[in-house]
Structure 1
Amino acid sequence: MFFVLKMIVSAFVIAIVTEISRRLPTYGGIIAALPLVSLLSLFWLSIQGESETNMNQFTLGVLIGLPATGFLLLIVYFLTKHSVPFIVSLCAGMVAWAVFIYVQDLLKRMFT
């Protein structure tokens, strides 16, 4: 039952952001850039009684993923701005994200 509640609340938040984005794209983008998923995840983890260690590791994972996500969005922005179809832009952004994460992980291993 708790799983269903998490899905409903999370879907509701996404639906609200999508509606705002449809009407006011710039403000919708700003709201979407908020750490809504991260905060919702931390909230649900806390409610479920997850350990502080796991919550800290989750938060670190989010921080590690931020640069790659920014890179993905930058790729999608520039490609769509230059009339590349959205689905192609999105796929290129996702590939760029995966490569960024891979390179970031390689660098982390080299220097730790």
Structure 2
Amino acid sequence: MYYFFKVALTAVLVVAVSETSKRSSLLGSVLASLPLVSFLGMVWLYIDTGSIDKVSELSRNIFWLVLPSLSFFLLLPYLLKKGVGFSASFGISTLVMIGLYLGMAFCLTKFNIEA
């Protein structure tokens, strides 16, 4: 039952962002920009493990990996405005983001930053 509750709450939040965005892109953007998945992930992790060390480690890792994910939100609207189709823009933006994730992982390892 607990697992079902976690899945249902998470799904409701995603649908709420989608439905809100249909009416107001600004309000939808505000909801989507909130780190709701991160919040929920940390809460579920703490409830499941009771470990503040695991929550702290998750939070630190999220920080480092948010940085390359921002490229997606810069590149996607740029490509769309340049007339590139949605699927291609989405795919290119995703590939660039994945490349930057890999680059971040390499840099963190190279500079001995614990993530």
The answer, yes or no, to whether TM exceeds 0.5 is: yes
Superposed displacement of residue 50, structure 1: 3.7
Q: Who is 2:73 aligned against?
A: 73
CA distance in 2, matches of 1:108, 1:62: 13
Structure 1 alignment gaps of length 5 or more:
none
Q: Who is 2:29 aligned against?
A: 29
CA distance in 1, matches of 2:86, 2:61: 28
* Aligned residue pair count: 112
State whether structure 2 residue 50 is matched by structure 1 residue 88.
Answer: no
What amino acid maps onto 1:40 in structure 2?
L
Compared CA separation, residues 46 and 109, structure 1 to 2 (3 A):
closer
CA RMSD of aligned residues (A): 1.3
What amino acid maps onto 1:80 in structure 2?
L
What amino acid maps onto 2:42 in structure 1?
L
Deviation sequence 1:23-56 (CA, Å, 0-9, x none): 1012211220110110111111122234111111
Give percent identity, aligned residues only. 23
Higher relative contact order (CA 8 A, sep 6+): 2
CA distance in 2, matches of 1:107, 1:44: 29
State whether structure 2 residue 56 is matched by structure 1 residue 56.
Answer: yes
More divergent stretch after superposition (81-90 vs 42-51): 42-51
State whether structure 2 residue 25 is matched by structure 1 residue 3.
Answer: no
Q: TM-score, normalised by structure 2?
A: 0.89
Q: TM-score, normalised by structure 1?
A: 0.91
What amino acid maps onto 1:81 in structure 2?
K
Q: Who is 2:99 aligned against?
A: 99
Superposed displacement of residue 2, structure 1: 1.4
Superposed displacement of residue 82, structure 1: 1.6
CA distance in 2, matches of 1:14, 1:108: 31
